[in-house]
């Protein structure tokens, strides 16, 4: 069943009195292609608050690491060794076998020039893919939507599993949709007053139009998602914590064939200035548990090669631990890729150089915008220059 | 009469935060010009925020800690405990400042100055974890908000919050830090493309040594200040920071940059160069007198043209304060007010970055629109709030995202008092009157029919809620 038929049959039937707003009619009529560029999916997991990369991907052969972190360093006997020099935090044990099978991979020393150590600014930079000295008002996934269908994309084509939408999801012409619970969103949007309002005439002023367009798209996106996912729910048993619930929702969307290439979830808070160990351990364990089930679920559906999970944080933390058994804001960090058959050259897996620091922080070797460019060009199948605004050479594939 | 009412509504909405029906009735006995004059008269005297005792916390966190240490020898654990306590107190105080300012904006006194302060708060966007600095900067901005822009610029540049935020404490002769010099040109005065990288490098040298002492008082640290010759915008001399600010004000690009931003905020977010150009020329000629500029705008014919009425999207703060001003309600508790700001992406004292809130259409996406439309019910009927604001992972701002299920349970709203101006009106006349007072532009027949159709058992409450739910209510 193609998308047009789908709208006619399920959305109309399921929503009952729902009348398709004008903009939907317009693109049905014009047969504008808003289908996905390909069948690949990118899931982004954001570690909010600045995850300590050195205690996540541990340089267990490095004396400086143990010297600078007398209380926080993880002893070699406890780490999960991946290579001769790097190992995972023990809480990530469930990801070990995925690593061995090539489904869980890492990049190291990822960052950007002139790093900013403020959460908000650094997160902005990751969301907008800007330079450190530049302020952009749109996010890279939002601009991906802008570029993908010349402004006719629907919000549900990039879904954030949350109530509030991140800057990364906001484009100039199209913004993604934040939905934490499709049923609850649907309950809210099927309100007859909203429905009739969306169809009622309004004045033709720019911002009025924009508000009504947003309303109509929200209602139709919510109806679409609801109709798509109402029937099937995954049988895999996800952990009951928030990240588990969020990845389960993503799996439901993927399983039911929602026309979306991008999903976004957040996990945190990793801002571990004080007594880092138990907090980070808990968050990493939740991540490993949830991602493990998610990948098993996709594998059972034969979709694991089509879904790539990117995990990042706005910065890593200082090499030297602080006086409160925590770590302060740092710079370059590790990034994880899981699932999807996109493999990067091993040169990006280098051990961090703890003897060559910038004010106590790691120097980046890989610009995250090169990673974005590679994901756009080689995974989402869209010209990265149209999204990033300027050419980035991208990363070498394996 | 009708015409005056539309213009007054527009004036109060843009120069303030809206007005109640009773107040609009009262004001429409006089001319719009008189109302403008009253706004200026009323804004004469700044009302500074007084939440934080400057004596108690006129210090940085470091100094406070030293004071704690003077109490005697402390264990590591006790020290940490004190730091956590101070941090916690500071966060609470910044939250208190936020609520105090919201309350002041809604009080209806000095509204033009408060609105202007809000504008400059976004223009000179800055974050500080020190509540004394936050309060002081806000009061500095308020003091100069309607004065000469040059004075405002100078005062903000020498204010500890900004010196700290843009790293000027680290700007020393031996290793200049360009952060402040760059942002002052790019974001506060000239705009991108109107200066060279060399101008920034040289300007950074003029600000070397600018900093604040332990008490937070501005000082120029002589041994860190570069007294050498600098060349900025083609002019050469042994300039200091104040000279740089004056040189910036001499540039022709500064007035158009500022006036465009003010025009977009107060008039229409789509700028009209035909109007902006002469206005900017006048602004420069009047020595950047902000009161002159605002008076020109608020008394011009074009300000009241239909194409400028009801076309700008309210910021979350304007929306929140507007509920209070228009309906005469009292939120009655701080956390709910902080929470809504967090959920709608505008928390006072926490701008996203030094560029401030981008505003306009960026306020609205699917989630924020649905929440804004639901908000009247959440506030007026203490309805459940099914929305989880995103925590941004920072221990210093986590408290903003805390909420209860029915956050506005303590809100006081007197329906009877609100209803007084509408006494005796029957259904349709009541709807027309309510929408006239609450919306910037007239209802369309289709929306009128919709509101009539959806009324249940209490016309006044159903219509009021319905009107506040319309997407048009998001506009001002």
Residues A164-190 pLDDT 10s:
999 999 999 999 999 999 999 999 999
At residue B456 the predicted structure's pLDDT band, cuts being 50, 70 and 90, is very high
**pLDDT of A22:** 46
Residues of A in contact with B360 (CB under 8 A): 207
ipTM for the predicted complex comes to: 0.94
Q: Tokens 């039937």 identify what position?
A: A13
Distance CA A374, CA A385 (A): 11
Of A120, A176, A212, Cβ closest to residue B392: A120
Residue ranges of domains in chain A: 40-388
Residues 6+ apart with CB under 8 A from B324: B17, B106, B330, B331
User: What is the mean pLDDT of the segment spanning A33-43?
Assistant: 76
**Structure tokens of B26?**
């009262």
User: Measuring CA to CA, which residue among B174, B259, A66 is closest to residue A77?
Assistant: A66
- The residue among B359, B366, B383, B466 with the most chain A CBs within 10 A of its CB, best to mutate, is B366
User: What is the mean pLDDT of the segment spanning A50-58?
Assistant: 98
Q: Tokens 């306009």 identify what position?
A: B360
Distance CA B262, CA B273 (A): 13
Q: Which strand (E) or helix (H) includes residue B235?
A: strand B235-237
Of A121, A200, A314, Cβ closest to residue B353: A121
Residue A308, CA atoms < 13 Å, CB-side half-sphere = 25
User: What is the mean pLDDT of the segment spanning B49-53?
Assistant: 92
At residue B64 the predicted structure's pLDDT band, cuts being 50, 70 and 90, is low
How distant is the Cα of B72 from the closest Cα of chain A, in angstroms? Answer: 20
At residue A16 the predicted structure's pLDDT band, cuts being 50, 70 and 90, is very low
**pLDDT of B3:** 79
CATH of domain A40-388: 3.40.720
Mean of the per-residue pLDDT values of chain A: 90
Of B361, B365, B392, Cβ closest to residue A165: B365
Q: Which strand (E) or helix (H) includes residue B26?
A: helix B21-27
User: What is the mean pLDDT of the segment spanning A359-387?
Assistant: 97
How many Cβ contacts (< 8 angstroms) between chains A and B? Answer: 156
Residue A256, CA atoms < 13 Å, CB-side half-sphere = 20
CA-to-CA dists, residue B230 to B175, B222, B249, angstroms: 15, 17, 17
User: Measuring CA to CA, which residue among A286, A354, A377 is closest to residue A109?
Assistant: A354
A106 has a pLDDT exceeding 90: yes
**pLDDT of B59:** 57
Beta bridge partners of A338: A104, A309
Specify the range with the lowest mean pLDDT, choosing from A22-26, A92-96, A246-250.
A22-26
Contact B311 A207 (CB under 8 A): yes
Q: How many CB atoms lie within 10 A of CB B286?
A: 15
**pLDDT of B53:** 84
Task: Give exposure, A64-102, as e/b (b: 16+ Cβ within 10 Å).
Answer: ebbebbeebbbeeeebbebeeebbbbbbbebbbebbeee
pLDDT digits (tens, 9 = 90+) for B65-92: 677 777 777 787 787 788 788 888 889 9
B109 has a pLDDT exceeding 60: yes
**pLDDT of B74:** 78
CB B16 within 8 A of CB B61: no
**pLDDT of A274:** 86
A29 has a pLDDT exceeding 50: no
Contact A215 B471 (CB under 8 A): yes
Distance CA A255, CA A298 (A): 8
Q: How many CB atoms lie within 10 A of CB A391?
A: 10
Distance CA B340, CA B321 (A): 12
**pLDDT of A35:** 54
B111 has a pLDDT exceeding 60: yes
Mean of the per-residue pLDDT values of chain B: 93
Strand order from edge to edge, sheet including A80-81: A57-59, A86-88, A80-81
Contact A214 B270 (CB under 8 A): no
Of B364, B387, B394, Cβ closest to residue A271: B394
Q: Residue B396: exposed, middle, or buried by beta-carbon count in 10 A (0-12, 13-18, 19+)?
A: middle
At residue B358 the predicted structure's pLDDT band, cuts being 50, 70 and 90, is very high
User: What is the mean pLDDT of the segment spanning A260-269?
Assistant: 96
**Structure tokens of A142?**
């939002």
User: Measuring CA to CA, which residue among B15, B35, B39 is closest to residue B24?
Assistant: B35
Distance CA B440, CA B428 (A): 19
B170 has a pLDDT exceeding 80: yes
User: Measuring CA to CA, which residue among A104, A120, A103 is closest to residue A57?
Assistant: A104
Q: Scanning every residue of chain B, which has its alpha carbon at the shortest distance from the alpha carbon of A275?
A: B80
User: What is the mean pLDDT of the segment spanning B157-183?
Assistant: 94
Q: How many CB atoms lie within 10 A of CB B386?
A: 16
Distance CA A181, CA A164 (A): 12
Residues of B in contact with A202 (CB under 8 A): 444, 447, 471-472
As a whole-number percent, the residues of chain B with pLDDT over 90 amount to 84
A27 has a pLDDT exceeding 60: no
Residues 6+ apart with CB under 8 A from B294: B15, B112, B116, B146, B262, B266
Q: B42-46 — which CB contacts under 8 Å span 24+ positions?
A: B42/B109, B42/B110, B42/B111, B42/B112, B43/B110, B43/B111, B43/B112, B43/B113, B43/B116, B43/B146, B45/B110, B46/B110, B46/B113, B46/B139, B46/B142, B46/B143, B46/B145
Helices B76-106 and B131-144, axial angle in degrees (round to 10):
30
A3 has a pLDDT exceeding 60: no
Beta bridge partners of A107: A335
3-state secondary structure of B328: coil
B305 has a pLDDT exceeding 80: yes
- The residue among A211, A321, A328, A333 with the most chain B CBs within 10 A of its CB, best to mutate, is A211
Contact B394 A119 (CB under 8 A): yes
User: What is the mean pLDDT of the segment spanning A80-109?
Assistant: 97
**Phi (first) and psi of residue A394, to 5 degrees:** 80, 175
CB A311 within 8 A of CB A363: no
Strands A86-88 and A80-81: antiparallel
**Structure tokens of A159?**
């879904």
> With a CB-CB cutoff of 8 Å, which residues 189-228 of chain B face chain A?
none
CB B230 within 8 A of CB B205: yes
User: What is the mean pLDDT of the segment spanning B387-414?
Assistant: 87
Q: What residue ranges in A236-378 does DSSP mark as E strands?
A: 262-268, 307-313, 333-339, 366-367
Q: How many residues does chain A have?
A: 398
Residues 6+ apart with CB under 8 A from A277: A72, A325
User: What is the mean pLDDT of the segment spanning A90-94?
Assistant: 98
Contact A188 B386 (CB under 8 A): yes
Q: Scanning every residue of chain A, which has its alpha carbon at the shortest distance from the alpha carbon of B465?
A: A193
**Structure tokens of B205?**
């040298």
Distance CA B363, CA B366 (A): 10
Contact A269 B393 (CB under 8 A): yes
User: Measuring CA to CA, which residue among B94, B84, B450 is closest to residue A192?
Assistant: B450
Residue ranges of domains in chain B: 1-42, 253-308, 316-391+404-474
CB A167 within 8 A of CB A124: yes
B347 has a pLDDT exceeding 90: yes
User: For A57, which DSSP code?
Assistant: E
CB A347 within 8 A of CB A395: no
As a whole-number percent, the residues of chain A with pLDDT over 70 amount to 90
Query: Alpha carbon B390 to chain centroid distance?
Result: 22
Task: Give exposure, B315-334, as e/b (b: 16+ Cβ within 10 Å).
Answer: bbbbbbbbbbbbbbbebeeb
pLDDT digits (tens, 9 = 90+) for B205-261: 999 999 998 888 999 999 999 999 999 999 999 999 999 999 999 999 999 999 999
Strand order from edge to edge, sheet including A307-313: A177-178, A158-160, A262-268, A41-48, A307-313, A333-339, A104-111, A366-367
Of the two residues B386 and B274, the one the predictor is more confident about is B274
Q: Residue A213: exposed, middle, or buried by beta-carbon count in 10 A (0-12, 13-18, 19+)?
A: middle
Distance CA B283, CA B122 (A): 20
**Phi (first) and psi of residue A337, to 5 degrees:** -125, 135
User: What is the mean pLDDT of the segment spanning A254-270?
Assistant: 94
- The residue among B65, B74, B394 with the most chain A CBs within 10 A of its CB, best to mutate, is B394
Query: Model's pTM, two decimal places?
Result: 0.92
User: For B46, which DSSP code?
Assistant: -
Query: What totals of helices (H) and strands (E) does chain A contain, helices first?
Result: 14, 11
**Structure tokens of A351?**
């051990």
**pLDDT of B79:** 78
**Structure tokens of B326?**
């228009």
Q: How many residues does chain B have?
A: 476
Contact B270 A273 (CB under 8 A): no
- The residue among B76, B88, B392 with the most chain A CBs within 10 A of its CB, best to mutate, is B392
A21 has a pLDDT exceeding 60: no
A17 has a pLDDT exceeding 70: no
Distance CA B46, CA B142 (A): 6
Of A50, A167, A206, Cβ closest to residue B393: A50
As a whole-number percent, the residues of chain B with pLDDT over 70 amount to 97
Helices A206-229 and A22-30, axial angle in degrees (round to 10):
70
**pLDDT of A1:** 38
Which three-class secondary structure string do you get for B245-264?
HHHHHHCCCHHHHHHHHHHH
User: Measuring CA to CA, which residue among A156, A161, A175 is closest to residue A223?
Assistant: A156
Query: Alpha carbon A177 to chain centroid distance?
Result: 13
Q: How many CB atoms lie within 10 A of CB A364?
A: 21
**pLDDT of B80:** 77
At residue A232 the predicted structure's pLDDT band, cuts being 50, 70 and 90, is low
**pLDDT of B56:** 61
User: What is the mean pLDDT of the segment spanning A46-67?
Assistant: 97
Contact B471 A188 (CB under 8 A): no
């Amino acid at each position: 069943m193609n998308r047009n038929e789908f709208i006619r049959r399920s959305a109309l039937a399921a929503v009952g009195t729902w009348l398709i707003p004008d903009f939907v009619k317009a693109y049905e009529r014009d047969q504008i292609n808003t289908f996905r560029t390909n069948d690949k999916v990118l899931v982004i997991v954001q570690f909010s608050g600045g995850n300590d990369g050195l205690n996540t991907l541990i340089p267990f052969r490095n004396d400086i690491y143990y010297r600078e972190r007398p209380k926080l360093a993880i002893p070699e006997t406890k780490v999960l060794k991946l290579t001769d020099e790097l190992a995972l935090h023990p809480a990530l044990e469930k990801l070990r076998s995925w690593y061995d099978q090539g489904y869980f991979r890492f990049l190291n020393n990822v960052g950007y020039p002139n790093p900013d150590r403020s959460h908000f600014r650094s997160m902005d930079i990751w969301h907008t893919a800007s330079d450190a000295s530049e302020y952009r008002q749109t996010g890279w996934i939002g601009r991906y939507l802008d570029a993908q269908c010349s402004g006719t994309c629907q919000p549900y084509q990039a879904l954030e599993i949350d109530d509030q939408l991140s800057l990364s999801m906001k484009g100039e012409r199209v913004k993604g949709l934040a939905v934490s619970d499709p049923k609850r969103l649907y309950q809210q949007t099927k309100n007859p007053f909203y429905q009739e309002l969306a169809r009622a005439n309004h004045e033709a002023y720019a911002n009025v139009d924009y508000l009504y367009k947003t309303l109509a798209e929200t209602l139709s996106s919510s109806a679409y998602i609801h109709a798509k996912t109402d029937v099937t729910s995954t049988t895999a048993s996800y952990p009951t914590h928030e990240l588990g619930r969020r990845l389960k929702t993503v799996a439901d969307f993927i399983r039911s064939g929602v026309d979306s290439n991008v999903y976004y979830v957040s996990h945190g808070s990793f801002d571990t200035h004080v007594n880092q160990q138990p907090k980070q351990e808990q968050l990493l364990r939740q991540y490993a548990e949830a991602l493990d089930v998610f990948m098993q679920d996709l594998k059972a559906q034969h979709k694991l090669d089509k879904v790539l999970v990117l995990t990042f944080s706005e910065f890593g933390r200082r090499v030297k631990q602080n006086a409160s058994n925590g770590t302060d804001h740092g710079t370059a960090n590790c990034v994880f890729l899981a699932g999807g058959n996109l493999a990067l050259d091993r040169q990006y897996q280098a051990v961090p150089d703890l003897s060559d620091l910038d004010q106590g922080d790691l120097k980046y070797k890989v610009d995250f915008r090169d990673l974005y460019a590679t994901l756009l060009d080689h995974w989402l199948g869209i010209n990265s220059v149209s999204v990033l605004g300027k050419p980035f050479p991208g990363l070498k594939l394996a | 009469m009708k015409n005056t009412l539309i213009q007054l509504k527009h004036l109060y909405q843009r120069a303030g935060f809206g007005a109640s029906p009773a107040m609009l009735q009262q004001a429409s006995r006089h001319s719009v010009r008189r109302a403008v004059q009253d706004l200026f008269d009323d804004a004469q005297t700044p009302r500074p925020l007084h939440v934080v005792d400057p004596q108690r916390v006129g210090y940085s966190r470091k100094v406070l800690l030293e004071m704690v240490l003077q109490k005697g020898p402390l264990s590591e654990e006790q020290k940490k405990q004190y730091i956590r306590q101070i941090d916690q107190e500071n966060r609470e105080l910044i939250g208190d400042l936020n609520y105090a300012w919201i309350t002041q904006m809604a009080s209806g006194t000095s509204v033009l100055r408060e609105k202007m302060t809000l504008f400059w708060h976004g223009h000179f966007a800055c974050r500080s974890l020190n509540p004394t600095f936050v309060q002081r900067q806000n009061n500095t901005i308020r003091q100069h908000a309607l004065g000469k822009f040059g004075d405002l610029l100078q005062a903000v540049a020498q204010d500890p919050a900004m010196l700290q935020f843009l790293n000027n404490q680290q700007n020393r002769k031996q290793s200049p830090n360009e952060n402040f010099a760059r942002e002052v040109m790019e974001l506060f005065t000239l705009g991108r493309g109107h200066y060279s990288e060399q101008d920034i490098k040289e300007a950074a040298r003029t600000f070397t040594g600018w900093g604040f002492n332990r008490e937070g008082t501005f000082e120029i640290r002589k041994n860190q200040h570069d007294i050498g010759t600098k060349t900025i915008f083609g002019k050469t001399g042994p300039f200091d920071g104040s000279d740089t600010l004056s040189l910036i004000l001499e540039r022709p690009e500064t007035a158009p940059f500022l006036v465009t931003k003010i025009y977009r905020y107060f008039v229409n977010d789509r700028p009209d160069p035909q109007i902006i150009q002469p206005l900017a020329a006048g602004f420069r000629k009047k020595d950047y007198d902000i009161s002159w500029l605002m008076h020109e705008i608020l008394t011009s014919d074009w300000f009241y043209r239909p194409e400028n009425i009801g076309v700008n999207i309210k910021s979350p703060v304007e929306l929140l304060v507007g509920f209070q001003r228009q309906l005469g309600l009292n939120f009655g508790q701080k956390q709910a007010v902080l929470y809504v700001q967090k959920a709608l992406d505008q928390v006072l004292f926490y701008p996203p970055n030094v560029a401030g809130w981008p505003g306009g259409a960026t306020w609205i996406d699917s989630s924020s629109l649905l929440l804004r439309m639901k908000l009247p019910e959440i506030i007026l009927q203490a309805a459940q709030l099914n929305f989880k604001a995103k925590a941004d992972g920072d221990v210093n701002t986590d408290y903003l995202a805390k909420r209860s299920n029915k956050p506005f349970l303590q809100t006081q709203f007197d329906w009877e008092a609100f209803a007084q101006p509408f006494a005796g009106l029957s259904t349709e006349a009541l709807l027309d009157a309510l929408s006239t007072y609450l919306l910037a532009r007239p209802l369309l027949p289709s929306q009128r029919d919709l509101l009539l159709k959806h009324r249940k058992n209490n016309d006044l409450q159903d219509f009021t809620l319905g009107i506040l739910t319309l997407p048009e209510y998001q506009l001002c």
